[in-house]
Structure 1
């Protein structure tokens, strides 16, 4: 029986009855965001002696090893579900050799955090090369300036093994190379890390909303852009194809990035994916709300919770958000 044929009509039907008072609204809420749904992206930069504020992301910093440990402990104490690490090395080169160096910045951070909070929170490592290459692209370049897809896969497999060796509980490839999940899964298995899951950035769009991140991660392309390997914002069916390919290659979780402008894609993926679905509330979304709140144009805490709720309502089971620790405290 459909809702229209079964529902009583006004005045017997008064939906407002269930909207009176916070306790009643909470009791009948269809969607809930919990601290364990949240993943905190964090930037750690090699060689720093003090944290460096990120001007386009108020409240966020490039961490030192020490400040990273402190922030990770605070996130774990707040009940945040996971941490996603991004590394910024002192030295970059054409193939991003620091990305899989056993003593690279992310590997050092993973070892530190494994000892500090490894039993209390899921340690995740973003797996890409854009922060490590001197040209800022997500893999080694061919002579024509385009990323060499298949050579990049070899690099990704090596990086995955290095991250898992250092303590990553989850590796998260974000480069949008064809075949990346299969290559990484094989690399992890060869290295004995058969139990380390792969969280694939399966539907990552070529988006203007990454702008502040490129300051934070110091990984902007030195020429061209990433539209040759990231998805066109106009395409939704393509996202479902990418998700299906990644799952077939062994992805244990999949991600849609960005989130807010792509909630329709999040919903489509959540409706069809056989594995858990994550969405990334990216730097541009964070910056927009922070800027509007600073000007008094909206109420900041309510905006944070409302937008995170929209992610969960669309079907995301995990949300990467720079507000993770703060939001976890608000939610509790």
Structure 2
């Protein structure tokens, strides 16, 4: 029998690990990761989040040990979320000088000055109603909320935050925060905007970790409809025009098409947020022995890089950093 041999032999470039490594198009690095940390008031507290195995709420007095582990793994950036004891209608704990994120920032900067601190800038963890702004008639008042978000950003910068990351999805938040930072003398502090943030069911476990579940309604009037694609480009374009320095797409795993759209249309660094629900699904499957966690996580994170993410906020950062060290 005579065989046809005039076809392309793509397998030539897959013949060995060394060959595959040589032609690999996308690489996952520890430098790509930003690790989320939940800081709580009180003392001697390290409480695992029930829906997020391996993720903890940590009090200030134990924070140094947690940061030391992150730093020694080679992770160069963390994003801080605060969980205060006291909440009120206007989220005062977000912008006072003694706020939990401000205190955590000062502590980390004293001990690890070269570690980049990203401060999540929102009010939902600090408001008694759990929404991301000031409430009037059961609705979030966009413009009144902007003033408090700007105060929060400035207070975080004063505490030593390297990057401000507003996640509230109010219209005009980048412009107002940029102006406030500049007027306060923080012209060199970049804004990592949650430019594209969907009203996603994947956020459930985070609300356990940050104690930020809305007490009424939901956030669909200010977060984006998961069915929309072109809207993401409008949102990102506005933030670029208003002075954003990074663009976050959140969530990432179910929105890889949006990551690619943002990458193709804008020249700023793109950040994928590998959110809590994405993390918890993998952890649950791994605990049941249904998957190879290491292989799946590294494949998942690589897919985010392939889609166009330059950086990845991920609860897997510590695990992935350790795994990458093993393979190098």
Do they superpose with TM above 0.5? Answer: yes
Q: Distance in 1 between matches of 2:292 and 2:110?
A: 38
Out of 240, 247, 258, the position equivalent to 2:251 is 258
Matches within 5 A, 1:113-124: 113-119=108-114, 121-124=115-118
Q: Distance in 2 between matches of 1:278 and 1:248?
A: 18
Q: Distance in 1 between matches of 2:76 and 2:225?
A: 30
**TM-score (normalizing by structure 2):** 0.96
Q: Distance in 2 between matches of 1:110 and 1:139?
A: 23
Q: Deviations over 1:37-56 (max 9, x none)?
A: 10001100111422011000
**TM-score (normalizing by structure 1):** 0.95
The alpha-carbon deviation at position 66 of structure 1 amounts to: 3.3
Q: CA RMSD in A?
A: 1.1
SS in 2 for 1:75: helix
Corresponding position of 2:84: 89
The alpha-carbon deviation at position 126 of structure 1 amounts to: 0.2
Contact in 1 for aligned 2:43/2:61 (Cα 8 Å)? no
Q: Distance in 1 between matches of 2:312 and 2:116?
A: 13
Q: Distance in 2 between matches of 1:174 and 1:212?
A: 17
Corresponding position of 2:124: 130
Q: Deviations over 1:127-163 (max 9, x none)?
A: 0000000000000101x11001001100011000000
In structure 2, the gaps of 5 or more residues are: none
Deviates more, 1:43-52 or 1:144-153: 43-52
Q: 1:324 to 1:10 in 2, by over 3 A?
A: farther
Q: Distance in 1 between matches of 2:306 and 2:158?
A: 36
Matches within 5 A, 1:152-231: 152-231=145-224
Corresponding position of 1:307: 300
Q: 1:79 to 1:249 in 2, by over 3 A?
A: same
In structure 1, the gaps of 5 or more residues are: 1-8
Q: 1:111 to 1:10 in 2, by over 3 A?
A: farther
Q: 1:12 to 1:250 in 2, by over 3 A?
A: same
Contact in 1 for aligned 2:83/2:126 (Cα 8 Å)? yes
Q: Distance in 2 between matches of 1:74 and 1:141?
A: 40
Corresponding position of 1:6: none
The alpha-carbon deviation at position 12 of structure 1 amounts to: 5.9
